[in-house]
Structure 1
Amino acid sequence: MTMTAFAQDRPIRAALLGAGYIADWHAAAIAATPGVELVAVCDQSAAAAEALSQSYGITAYHDLEKMLTAGVADAVHIVTPPGTHRALAETCLRAGHHVLVEKPVALSGDETAEISQIATETGRVFAAGHNFMGTPGYQRLKTRLEAGEIGRIAAAEINWHFPMMPLRSGPFGLWLLAEPKNMLLELGPHLFAFAVDLFGPLTVDHVSLSKPVAIPGDTTRPQGWRILASAGDVSVTLNLSLVETMDDRSVTLHGSTATARYDYAHDVLTVDGENAADIVANPFLRQMSLAGQHLREGVVNGARQLVSLNRKSPYGLSFAGLSRAFYSAIRSGRPLDARFSGDAATEVMRAIDAAIALMPKAAKKPKPASRAKPKPSVLIIGGTGFIGRTLTRAWVAKGRDVRVLSRGTSGPFDDIADNVQLTSASLRDPDQLTHALEGIEIVYHLGKSMDATWEAALKNDVAVTETIARAANAAGVKRFIYTGTIASYDMSDPHVTISEATGFDADMSARNIYARSKAECEARLLEMYRQDDLPLVIARPGIVVGHGGPLQHWGIGRWHGAGAVRIWGKGHHGLPFVLNEDVVEALILMAENDAALGESFNLVGGPKLSARDYFDAIHARLGARIKVKSGNLVAFYASASVKYLLKKHVLRRGGLSNPSLSDWKSRAHFSPFDNRLPTELLGWQPETRRDVFLTKAIDEANLLGF
């Protein structure tokens, strides 16, 4: 069936199928595409769909058939988990909708070819979400290649050197970690799409894996991939490195005339070629040419982001380019740009199929001894997180079975599945929570909600916490333990020592939303303790470190990749570090000690290390010298205030907050802590020996991934 041009007299109506993280990027790209209107979002999670719909003023659905039969959209962006893409694409295409499918567009080349064939049969456009080829710089690279400025290409290297924190810190229930091949399915399309677009179909000759990392409750996953392939006369090397490394996501073409390097993560193109000057002038002119190109790229990208208030980042531009190509084909009735076509997507997935076939066979997952059915008495909300994983295993070691509320049915506990039950439940639904609380004596609420507005925090964090607490109280649990944060304190004054007797600010409206929301949750839970006898204990962990924790910890400073950090303040004062295993010990003591009821505990331990002490220790023990710069907190505050005013008055965004200077100073943790209450009342004994602490916080923490 031949596709006809779309009517010019009305906008193309677009809908999102899926309301996760990547949906926001697609929504912004749609909004930036002339002649296109975002009208709806559909997600099985009604809460997720409603949250996104409120952000963009669109209609929310949680049933795909209802959205399709309502006829509200002409095109659908499918941004759901990869395993659902094939079926959902067919459903949308046969319902008469054009589809743009996030990468990986399917789980194999055959599935991708099927989607492409259905699109042809129905006369609809099918676009592959290979967004990085939508950047302005990539089009300039192709233009120069086609003009012969790089010459005949002999070899190419396509790199993805970028840390993947979930491999070491979780969450481990993500689809991309479910099987070793999933990481190549998830990230491989970025690299293979460049190769196919530039050189045509690939022949994959060799795959080597490196730097394996152990996944809790599972086997190992590779963190390094080296794939050797060819396309005609071009030798192609594809490198994936997911450890803590300098960001290098690039395409390098080695030609007979020049070497071109395109940094697609930052939209920077440079071409290094010889010149005809004499032997003395040649080196100078060659380097000056590169310097001029870098200057141009820096000025253009800096100006672009400045005038757009960072809305035109290279990543955002890549989605905008993809969106323009998709909707241009729909509007004109002409074939889709080959970069995003079904034929190209099929070749990409067939090459990934070939690479997967050359991978070593994965080891079998560890299994529990008996496959007995757990009988949980402990419920952990947030049990797959950094603290939650260790807490779950600690309770199992003490002989208790644990129920973990999780979004999926797989998690980091396959080896102790006899004692851990993964359950999915909506935290907003009292009936589902009541079911999850059956047989439970101890409840831990370790969850948090990172919201951009106070209204969203009230809905997604505060109201959810109240709902959980009411359900737990109605179920008659013996202990409800909530994790707040020391960030709710005003820690701006080094002369004020903070203890549990120290109160939060009477007016928290000038604090950052996370700190304010956690404080509000505490206040409402304490009211339930006083009025309704909620068996409450509050824990406020400090800067938590240890195995499974991240290198790029934002409690210490603002990170710029793995190699540079601007610390909060000058970094010479002691920080409230605490080992993860010590936090878990305290959380268990809170459940076992009746004296803890109604109390709050600041969990701060360890030797008094400053930020600079910590990074000096990383250098000494791991050989990694991280570039540490002092952060001027007044400058941070001033910069944030300007951005706030521009977003509020220029972009007309509502619900934003502008944290005070005191809030920014609090991020430096200037105020020392007195931890006598948990040590005296609970008998808690956090690690204080410097060398032992550093061994656990750095040597054994796998901070770099290798």
Structure 2
Amino acid sequence: MSPKRIGLVGAGYIASWHADAIGATQGATLAAICDPSDGAAQALAEPSGVPVFASLDALIDSRTCDAVHILTPPHLHLALGLQALEAGLDVLIEKPVAENAEETRQLAAAAAASCARFSPGHNFLGLPSYDRLKRMIGQGDLGRVSGIEVTWALPLAPLRSGPYNIWLLREPRNLLLELGPHLAAFAVDLFGPLEVIATDVSKPVMLPGDDPRPQSIRILARAGHVDVTLTLSMVETVDDRSVTLRGSSGRARLDFAADTLVVERENASDLVVNPLRRQLDLARQHAREGLRNGWIQTRSLNTRGPYAQSFRGMCAAIYGAAEDGRYSAEAAVQAMQALDDALALVPAEKLTPKAPAVATRAPRPTALVIGGTGFIGRALTRGLVAGGTDVRVLSRGRHGPFPDLPDNVETVGVSLKDRAQLVQAMDGISEVYNLARALGTSWEDCLENDVKPAVTIAEAALEAGVSRLVYTGTIASYDMSDPAATITETTGFPGDMTGRNLYARSKAECERRLTAMHRDRGLPLTIARPGIVVGPGGPLQHWGIGRWHGAGAVRIWGSGDNILPFVLNDDVADGLILMARSDAALGEDFNLIGEPMLSARGYFRAIHDRLGAKIRVSSGNLTAFWAADAIKAMLKRHALGRANVIRPTRADWISRAHLSRFANDKPKEVLGWRPESSREAFLLKAVDRAGLFGF
């Protein structure tokens, strides 16, 4: 029997996991990629050499596929799914398969009418540990099961730091529709349809424009004689994505994020031997699960983690010889119906997004902010508006985080590689702020997606005749490995940047090319290099400080005792505005570093003292980091065949500790910039009001 030819509709982040799983599945082969973005589609298609299509119509007409995986944003699922099913293709749709149960029923009906197969992308049901759990239940090893608790407790960064224009955040209900299928799918697969009894939403967080979203959702339900609790928590918390089953003979806990299964059972011993045996048995099981996963990761060179295993298991089940009920259309309908029923029990006012402010006039922008939806960009845009300047924000979409400023801010979608579009976007603009950045996985990626857009923006600025282009580089481009050095704007970057991390190297290359355009062609350029930026809307898990392990543990770059170049977000915004409007700033560069106040350890002590949250802080040996990175790079090159792997030097790793001091005299003297000098006021903004834990 020939392998099933599968096309991927949507070439975003999740598509690479599907492509890997299809490649590892017997009876399936990747046949095509479909996405209106040719660059994204080509990048995904290149390793396997499959054709690329710009539309589902073109893919269907090509007859290259027997099935498709629909991986687009959820509001597109219904139309694309119906189109593929009516064409006779089998369809797998990423969760949520649709925006409600009724749409899911339409997909199921279309599949039945065309004799095609419709499967929900509930990937965690494909984990090996979940297979073991189902066998245990079937064999009666847990006895008679009376209750199941399914928990998804994982911080959701976009709630506090954006991007805010994604489908996930458009309405409060979308949070449950996006993450809830993972929870409902387990309960439905194990015990059937759910009767929802109650739903509680709490811990609201305010999106821009004072538009609340719940960060905690709890659903109480029943499935026959089994009590069901579904818990969704999106605040900063210890990662707990688990299924806990209580039975008369044992309690099982499946950690579906780690692919581990541990069962706690009674034993017949007396007195102290009973609890001792219980704990020894649990210790044995934990050791077994850890060793099993360690062996899998070692053998696969870290390419078969639990998440990858879940997709592989899902594809193996769907494209296997036998029909697997866990991925049936009926299961998809039951899971979505449970979520609909849960949402129906929430007061309407808690699910209704705040209406955007009513515009009284059209914005008259004279400032253009590229990257205005990001952390610094949002503060900059609001700072400009507060000073009386209307702003045009460039974004991937037409929705931005400024619903309360319709008179002053307009958001437009423009490609940063399209010079003509950029020139049009700069019509009437006097000052342009380029805060965009792209993180590539190779130097070629950086040149194409970071350096090239920076140059194209500069070319457009020259053509449009803007009065100032402010470009944001990074202090990471400096060599900060010498504790005795003090860095000023006269300090040059290393002559050879090839041994630096890609972000530092790419930003330095952007600066080099833009500076040449200023010198040779009169580009009205000023360069800003912000330090470690903190403040409201910023992340707790700032990777400029150390390597994070969830919200509760961080390994600092170095000892953590040296003063770090912290700076408040609002101060950066003020500095950027001053740079755009000062004649003395033309052709100059400025390091926007706050007053010296805190070390990394001092920052975490302040969080503990002021918020009562003690984060486990440990020193990071940067030479050890470098050595481990060197080993990983070697394995990637020689065992996985990735010839373009970048390996930063030891000096680059040591530089991440920010051992060198910074002087901020130049922006204060030339611009009159005044970063916060009061430690108490700084901590009030950087810690107390920053929303670091989400509630």
Q: How does 1:163-242 map to 2 (within 5 A)?
A: 163-242=155-234
- Contact kept in structure 2, 1:218 and 1:412, CA below 8 Å: no
Match of 1:650 in 2: 639
Q: Deviations over 1:36-81 (max 9, x none)?
A: 3323222122232233233554333222222221122222111100
How many pairs align?
A: 693
Match of 1:360 in 2: 347
Match of 1:141 in 2: 133
- Contact kept in structure 1, 2:489 and 2:589, CA below 8 Å: yes
Match of 1:293 in 2: 285
The residue type paired with residue 345 of structure 1 is A
Out of 435, 440, 444, the position equivalent to 1:446 is: 435
Match of 1:4 in 2: none
Out of 407, 420, 428, the position equivalent to 1:418 is: 407
Please give the TM-score of this superposition, normalised by the length of structure 2: 0.98
The 2-side partners of 1:521 and 1:466 are apart by: 7
Q: How does 1:566-581 map to 2 (within 5 A)?
A: 566-581=555-570
Task: Please state how far the C-alpha of 1:389 moved relative to its aligned partner.
Answer: 0.7
Q: How does 1:80-99 map to 2 (within 5 A)?
A: 80-99=72-91
Task: Please state how far the C-alpha of 1:435 moved relative to its aligned partner.
Answer: 2.1
Task: Please state how far the C-alpha of 1:323 moved relative to its aligned partner.
Answer: 1.3
Please give the TM-score of this superposition, normalised by the length of structure 1: 0.96
Task: Please state how far the C-alpha of 1:396 moved relative to its aligned partner.
Answer: 1.0
Q: How does 1:400-479 map to 2 (within 5 A)?
A: 400-479=389-468
Match of 2:113 in 1: 121
Match of 2:505 in 1: 516
Answering whether residue 328 of structure 2 is matched by residue 341 of structure 1, we say yes
- Contact kept in structure 2, 1:218 and 1:366, CA below 8 Å: no
The residue type paired with residue 334 of structure 2 is E
The residue type paired with residue 684 of structure 1 is W
Out of 657, 663, 668, the position equivalent to 2:657 is: 668
The residue type paired with residue 356 of structure 1 is L
Task: Please state how far the C-alpha of 1:560 moved relative to its aligned partner.
Answer: 0.4
Match of 1:488 in 2: 477
The 2-side partners of 1:226 and 1:584 are apart by: 39
Answering whether residue 382 of structure 2 is matched by residue 380 of structure 1, we say no
- Relative distance call for 1:634 and 1:562 in structure 2 (3 A) is same
The 2-side partners of 1:682 and 1:17 are apart by: 50
- Contact kept in structure 2, 1:218 and 1:414, CA below 8 Å: no
- Relative distance call for 1:697 and 1:474 in structure 2 (3 A) is same
Task: Please state how far the C-alpha of 1:369 moved relative to its aligned partner.
Answer: 5.1
Structure 1 stretch displaced more, 374-383 or 573-582: 374-383
- Contact kept in structure 2, 1:366 and 1:415, CA below 8 Å: no
Q: Secondary structure at the match of 1:415?
A: coil
- Relative distance call for 1:437 and 1:109 in structure 2 (3 A) is same
- Relative distance call for 1:49 and 1:397 in structure 2 (3 A) is same
Answering whether residue 243 of structure 2 is matched by residue 251 of structure 1, we say yes
The residue type paired with residue 308 of structure 2 is G
Q: Deviations over 1:502-555 (max 9, x none)?
A: 111111111111111111111111111111111111111110000000000000
Out of 677, 684, 691, the position equivalent to 1:688 is: 677
Out of 648, 666, 670, the position equivalent to 1:659 is: 648
What runs of 5+ residues in structure 1 fail to find an aligned partner? 1-7
Match of 1:606 in 2: 595
- Relative distance call for 1:484 and 1:58 in structure 2 (3 A) is farther
The 1-side partners of 2:48 and 2:482 are apart by: 40
The 2-side partners of 1:684 and 1:70 are apart by: 60
Out of 153, 156, 159, the position equivalent to 2:151 is: 159
Q: Secondary structure at the match of 2:76?
A: helix
Match of 1:312 in 2: 304
The 1-side partners of 2:642 and 2:23 are apart by: 15
What runs of 5+ residues in structure 2 fail to find an aligned partner? none
Answering whether residue 7 of structure 2 is matched by residue 15 of structure 1, we say yes
Task: Please state how far the C-alpha of 1:608 moved relative to its aligned partner.
Answer: 2.7
Q: Deviations over 1:406-443 (max 9, x none)?
A: 22222211111111111011111122222222211111
The 2-side partners of 1:578 and 1:16 are apart by: 43
- Contact kept in structure 2, 1:485 and 1:518, CA below 8 Å: yes
Match of 2:535 in 1: 546
Match of 2:625 in 1: 636
- Contact kept in structure 1, 2:118 and 2:329, CA below 8 Å: yes
- Contact kept in structure 2, 1:469 and 1:525, CA below 8 Å: yes
Q: Deviations over 1:539-581 (max 9, x none)?
A: 1111000000000000000000000001101111011100000
Task: Please state how far the C-alpha of 1:663 moved relative to its aligned partner.
Answer: 0.7
The 2-side partners of 1:370 and 1:291 are apart by: 62
Q: Deviations over 1:579-600 (max 9, x none)?
A: 0000000000011101111111
- Contact kept in structure 1, 2:564 and 2:596, CA below 8 Å: no
- Contact kept in structure 2, 1:217 and 1:366, CA below 8 Å: no
The residue type paired with residue 361 of structure 2 is A
- Contact kept in structure 2, 1:450 and 1:457, CA below 8 Å: yes
Q: Secondary structure at the match of 2:590?
A: strand
- Relative distance call for 1:622 and 1:47 in structure 2 (3 A) is same
The residue type paired with residue 618 of structure 1 is I
The 2-side partners of 1:438 and 1:615 are apart by: 46
The 2-side partners of 1:95 and 1:136 are apart by: 34
- Contact kept in structure 2, 1:488 and 1:504, CA below 8 Å: yes
The residue type paired with residue 342 of structure 1 is A
Match of 1:534 in 2: 523
Task: Please state how far the C-alpha of 1:218 moved relative to its aligned partner.
Answer: 4.5
Answering whether residue 495 of structure 2 is matched by residue 499 of structure 1, we say no
Match of 1:396 in 2: 385
The 2-side partners of 1:401 and 1:440 are apart by: 10
The 1-side partners of 2:50 and 2:585 are apart by: 47
Q: How does 1:56-135 map to 2 (within 5 A)?
A: 56-135=48-127
Structure 1 stretch displaced more, 624-633 or 209-218: 209-218
- Relative distance call for 1:55 and 1:414 in structure 2 (3 A) is farther
Q: Deviations over 1:641-694 (max 9, x none)?
A: 111011101110132100000110111111111111111111101112211111
The 2-side partners of 1:282 and 1:158 are apart by: 29
Out of 550, 559, 578, the position equivalent to 1:589 is: 578
The 2-side partners of 1:473 and 1:465 are apart by: 13
The 2-side partners of 1:244 and 1:55 are apart by: 37
* RMSD of aligned residue pairs (Cα, Å): 1.3
Task: Please state how far the C-alpha of 1:12 moved relative to its aligned partner.
Answer: 2.7
Answering whether residue 690 of structure 2 is matched by residue 701 of structure 1, we say yes
Task: Please state how far the C-alpha of 1:366 moved relative to its aligned partner.
Answer: 4.9
Task: Please state how far the C-alpha of 1:614 moved relative to its aligned partner.
Answer: 0.5
The 1-side partners of 2:9 and 2:380 are apart by: 35
- Contact kept in structure 2, 1:430 and 1:471, CA below 8 Å: yes
Task: Please state how far the C-alpha of 1:99 moved relative to its aligned partner.
Answer: 1.4
The 2-side partners of 1:557 and 1:488 are apart by: 17
